[in-house]
Amino acid sequence: MAKLNAAAWVRSYAALIDQRAAELTALDAAIGDADHGINMQRGLAAAVAALADAPGASATEVCKQTGMILVRTVGGASGPLYGTFFLRVADGLESGTDVTTFAKAFRAGLEAVMARGKAERGDKTMVDALAPAADCLDRQLAVGSGPATALEAAVAAAEAGRKATAPMQARKGRASYLGERSVGHIDPGAMSAMLLVRAARQALR
């Protein structure tokens, strides 16, 4: 049975953020503070470094540690939001790391982000990538799809959600101050959230 390797998830996410950091920063330059890529790089580098000090950590311990580090080291709203996500996922993985348990933990993480950021789908935030991924994952598992198929579909849903933020007018976060000028730009948070889902697919083995 496929199980989530939480340490591999964090490492894969850090690698994907490294690869797309310039793009994330460019997206944020259009509607934010132009620091999303740099901030996420810094936080995830710290999270990856901390993994070396806890080689036998459980999935719950890895996610909890990652969440606390992101809260401390990532600037702006992203640190508290991604930190909250990982901390809530950590609680959900206490009972296992199979794909069904992961899906429940992922949804709990999404709900925590929505509550903390007071954001909903359509607000042009990371929720617009995370929510479609969670919904897709649940649907795929409900019809008996295997873990790889379910995660691939979730990645595609997150990617579609990311793209769908372009025509939206931001209603939350720094971008909301721009009003109609926020239209026409991909949300950087939705981009980094899509990469989070892609990293999970890579880490589920």
Please, where are the H alpha helices in 32-74?
A: 36-51, 59-73
pLDDT for res 172: 80
Assess contact for 142 and 113: CB atoms under 8 A.
no
DSSP assignment string, 120-141: -TTSSSTHHHHHHHHHHHHHHH
What is residue 9's predicted lDDT score, i.e. its pLDDT?
Answer: 98
Global confidence as pTM = 0.96
Please say whether the beta carbons of 199 and 12 come within 8 A: yes
Q: How confident is the model at residue 13 (pLDDT cuts 50, 70, 90)?
A: very high
Q: Domains of the chain by range and CATH?
A: 6-203 (1.25.40.340)
CA proximity to 123, closest of 91, 169, 89: 169
Q: Does the pLDDT at position 87 exceed 70?
A: yes
Label residue 54 by pLDDT band (50, 70, 90). confident
Given this model, what pLDDT does residue 203 score? Answer: 93
Spatial separation of the C-alpha atoms in residues 147 and 36, rounded to whole Å: 31
Q: What is the mean pLDDT of residues 179-203?
A: 94
Q: How far is CA 201 from CA 26, 71, 88, 194, in A?
A: 26, 24, 19, 11
